[in-house]
Structure 1
Amino acid sequence: MHENNAVREAYARHLLERYSGWLSRVDAVDQEEIEAVAREIDEVLATEDGMRHKELLKKISELRDKVSEMMWMSEHMKILHDLSHIFAKTFEEDKILWKAFELVSRVMRADAFFIAFFDEGDSEIRIPISIDNGINYGPITVPYGQAMISKVIETRQTIHIRTMKDEPSEPEMIRWGSPEIDTNTCIFVPLMLGNQIKGVISAQSYREFAYKKEHEELLKIIGFQVASAIETARLYERMYQMSFQDELTGLANYRAFHRDLEKLLGEESSPVALIMLDSDSLKLVNDHFGHHAGDELIRRIAEAMKAVAGRENTAYRYAGDEFMLLCPKATMKEAEEKVRAIRDFLRMHPLLQDNCCIPIAVSVGIARFPDDSDTADGLKRAADEALYRSKRRGKNCTTVYATG
C-alpha cells in the first residue's frame, strides 16, 4: 500500500512538471496529448485525485483554446491592418489580388484560392486570380449560372463545405478547384460592397474540416476590403485615363501627346512624322455665331482627324483649336497625303449654323523625326515653326519644315 502511494505521488509530481511545461507553451499543446494524459490518470490515480487533475486538465485545455483564439485574432487584426496599408498605396489590381491571397494564407489554409468578379447583367464571371497549390491559373472566365460561384452570387449567402460528404450532388453545384488534386473543405463568401454583390472570394483546403466560423468572418471582411480596393483602383484608372483625354472631342489631349511622343521616339528607330494643325476661323465663328458654334467647329476638325488617323496614327487636341497627328514610319509624302485627306473631309463636311454654310480652313505644319530634330521638344518646335510659316503665308496652306 505504501509503495502504491509513493508511485501515485511520483506520478502526481510528474504531472505537475508536465503541466508547468504546457503552460510555458500553452498555444502549442496538442489536444490529443491532453486527452492521453486524462486516460493515464484514470489508470494511475485514485478517483478523488484523478478528478482534481482532470479539472486542471480541462482548465489547461480552455486556456489553450483562449490563447490560440487570441493569437489568431491578433494575427487577424494584423492582416486587416496590413491589407488596409497595402491597398492604400497601390492601384494595381493584380497586386491587390495577390496580396489578398498571401495575407489570407497567413491565418488559414489556402491550398486553393480564387477571387471572382461579376457585374449585374453579365453572362460571364471573371476570375482574374485562381490559385491551386501555389500556381495561378487565372485569368479565366466561367459562364454565369454554373458552379458554386453562381449560387453564392444568386443567394448572397456564404457556402461552407466542411467535407466531401457535405458537397451537393447536382452538377451545377460542383466547387472550384484543380481536377488533379481535389479540395475537401471550401468556403465561398460573397464579395459585398454596400448592397451590391461584386463577386465571390473562396479559400479551400485539401484537408477536411479545415475551417471554422471565424474563417468565414475573416473572408467576409477581407472580401469587403478587396472589393473596395478594386473599385478604388478602377476609379483611379478611369480618372487616370480621363486625364489623357480631351472632354470636348474625345481625342487624346496634350498630356497624352507628350507622353506618347517621348515613348515613340524612345522606341522607334524609324522616322516619325508630326502634323500640327490649327483652325483659321475659330475666332470669327465664336464672334458671329457664339461659342457653341466654335465648339462644333472644334469637334468637326476632331472628326476629320479621327477619320484620317486610322489604326497606325494618333490624333490629339493639343490646346484650343490646335491639333496634332503622330504618324510613325510615315514618309513626308505620306504625311502630306494625310493632310490632304483632312482637308477633303472638312470640305465635304462644312459647318452649318443659322442657315449658313461655314467652310472650315486649317493651317498646317509638318516636321519629321529624325530629319528635322532628334528630340521630342525639337520635333514639336520644328512643326510649330512650320505652322507659323503657314499662317504668315496667308493661312489655309501646308508648310513642310525642311523646305519651308
Structure 2
Amino acid sequence: MHDDFAVREAYARQLLERYSQWLSRIEEVDCREIEAVASELEAILSKEDSRLHGTVMKQIGELQGRVTEMLWISEHMKILHDLSHIFAKTFEESKILWKAFELVSRVMRADAFFIAFFDEGDSEIRIPISIDSGINYGPITVPYGQGMISHVIDTRQTIHIRSRAEEPSEPEMIRWGSPEIDTSTCIFVPLMLGNQVKGVISAQSYREFAYKKEHEELLKIIGFQVASAIETARLYERVYQMSFMDELTGICNYRAFHNELEKLLGEDGSSVALIMLDSDNLKSVNDQYGHHSGDELIRRIAEAMKVNLGNRDSAYRYAGDEFMLLSPGATLKEAEEKVQAIRDYLHAHPLVLEDGVIPIGVSVGIARFPADANTADGLKRAADEALYRSKRRGKNCTSVFAIGS
C-alpha cells in the first residue's frame, strides 16, 4: 500500500513538473501532447478526478490557443508596421517587393513566393519577383488567360491548396512552383486596390497543411500594402519625370539640362557641343498677337529642334524663349549643320496667323567641351557669350565661341 502511494506521488510530481514546463513555454506546447496526457490519465483516475483533470487539460489547451493567437497578432501587427514604415521611405519597386518577401517569411513558411502584376487589357502577366529557396528567378512574364494566376485575377477569389490531394486536376489550374520540385501548400491572393485587381501575391511551402486561415488574411493585407506602395512608386516616378519635362513644348527643361550636362562631362574622354538658341521675335509676337501666339512660336522652335535631333542629341527649353541642344561628340562643323537644319525647318514652317505669316528667327551660340571650357558652368557661359555676339551682329545668325571675341 505504501509502495503504491509512493508510485502515485512520484507520478503526480512528474505531472506537476510537466504542467509547469507547459506553462513556462505555453506557446510551444503541442495540443496533441495535452490530449495524450489527458487520455493516459483517464484510465487510472477516478471518474471525479478524471473529470477535474479533463477540465484542467481543456483550460491549458485554451490558454495555449489564446497565447498563440496573441503572439500571432503581435507579430502580424509588427509586420504591418514594418511594411508601412519601409514603404513610406522607398519608391523603388524592386526594394518594395523584396522587403515584402522578407517580412512574409518572418511569420509563415515561404519556400516559394511571387508577386504578379496585371493591367486590364494586357496580354501578359508581369512577375518581377519569383523566389524559390531564396533565389529570385524573376522578372518573367506569363500569358494572361491560363493558369492559376489568371484564374485568381478573373475570379478575385483567394485559392488555398492545402495538400497535393487537393490539387486541381484541370490543366489550366496547375499551380506555380519550381520546375524541379513542386510545392505542396499554396495560397494565391488577389492584389486588390480599391475595386481593381492589380495582380496576385502567393506564398507556397513544400510541407502539406503549412498555412491557416490567418495566413490568407495576412497575405490580403500585405498584398493591399504592396499594391498601394507600387502605385505610389509609379506615381512618384511619373511626377519625377514630369519635373524634368517642359509642359508647353514637351521637351526637357533646365533641370534635365543640368543633370545631363554634368553626366556627359563626367564621362572619360567625352566631348560635347552646346548649342544655345534664342528667339528673335517673341516679344513682338506677344505684343502684337497675344501670348497664345507667342506660345505657338515657342512650340514651333522646340518642334524644329526635335525633328533635327541626332541619335545622341537632346533638346531643352531652358527658360522663356531660350533653348539648349546638347550634342555629344559633335564636331564644330556638325554642330553648325544641326543649326542650319533647324533654321531650314523654321523657314519652311513659319508661324501662320490670321493677320499673315510670321517668319521665325533665332540667334545661336555654339561652344564645345573641353575646347572652350572644362566645366559645365564654363561651357554654358561660353555658349551664352557666343549667343550674345549673334544678337549684336543683327540677330538670326550663328556665332561660335572664341576666346577674346
Q: TM-score higher than 0.5 here?
A: yes
* C-alpha separation in 2, matches of 1:256 and 1:13: 79
* C-alpha separation in 2, matches of 1:96 and 1:172: 30
For 1:62, the equivalent position in structure 2 comes to: 62
**C-alpha contact 2:264 2:270 (8 A) present in aligned 1:** no
Residues 3-402 of structure 1: pairs in structure 2 closer than 5 A: 3-402=3-402
- Please state whether the residue corresponding to 2:378 is helix, strand or coil: helix
**C-alpha contact 1:272 1:326 (8 A) present in aligned 2:** yes
Deviations, residues 129-169 of structure 1 (Å, cap 9, x unaligned)? 11111011111111110111111111111111111111111
Q: Unpaired segments of 5 or more residues in structure 1?
A: none
Deviations, residues 5-46 of structure 1 (Å, cap 9, x unaligned)? 332232112101110111011111123332332343245444
* C-alpha separation in 2, matches of 1:178 and 1:47: 55
Counterpart residue identity of residue 57, structure 1: M
Deviations, residues 199-224 of structure 1 (Å, cap 9, x unaligned)? 11111111111111111111111111
Counterpart residue identity of residue 384, structure 1: D
* C-alpha separation in 2, matches of 1:36 and 1:310: 81
Which stretches of structure 1, 4 residues or more, deviate above 6 A after TM superposition? none
Deviations, residues 340-377 of structure 1 (Å, cap 9, x unaligned)? 11111111111111151111110000000001111001
* C-alpha separation in 2, matches of 1:267 and 1:126: 35
* C-alpha separation in 1, matches of 2:136 and 2:270: 39
Measured after TM superposition, the shift of residue 3 of structure 1 is 3.0
Counterpart residue identity of residue 270, structure 2: S
* C-alpha separation in 2, matches of 1:366 and 1:308: 16
Counterpart residue identity of residue 245, structure 2: Q
* C-alpha separation in 2, matches of 1:99 and 1:310: 42
Measured after TM superposition, the shift of residue 289 of structure 1 is 1.5
TM-score (norm 2): 0.97
Measured after TM superposition, the shift of residue 269 of structure 1 is 1.6
* C-alpha separation in 1, matches of 2:50 and 2:3: 18
**C-alpha contact 1:8 1:45 (8 A) present in aligned 2:** no
- Please state whether the residue corresponding to 1:183 is helix, strand or coil: coil
TM-score (norm 1): 0.97
* C-alpha separation in 2, matches of 1:51 and 1:112: 46
Measured after TM superposition, the shift of residue 311 of structure 1 is 2.1
* C-alpha separation in 2, matches of 1:226 and 1:193: 9
The percentage of aligned residue pairs carrying the same residue is: 79
- Please state whether the residue corresponding to 1:181 is helix, strand or coil: coil
Measured after TM superposition, the shift of residue 76 of structure 1 is 0.2
Counterpart residue identity of residue 202, structure 2: S
Deviations, residues 289-317 of structure 1 (Å, cap 9, x unaligned)? 21111111111111111111132110001
- Please state whether the residue corresponding to 1:309 is helix, strand or coil: coil
Identify the range of structure 1 (314-323 vs 60-69) with the bigger mean alpha-carbon deviation. Answer: 60-69
Measured after TM superposition, the shift of residue 63 of structure 1 is 1.0
CA RMSD in angstroms comes to 1.4
Q: Unpaired segments of 5 or more residues in structure 2?
A: none
* C-alpha separation in 1, matches of 2:12 and 2:320: 93
- Please state whether the residue corresponding to 1:116 is helix, strand or coil: strand
**C-alpha contact 1:8 1:44 (8 A) present in aligned 2:** no
* C-alpha separation in 1, matches of 2:15 and 2:44: 11
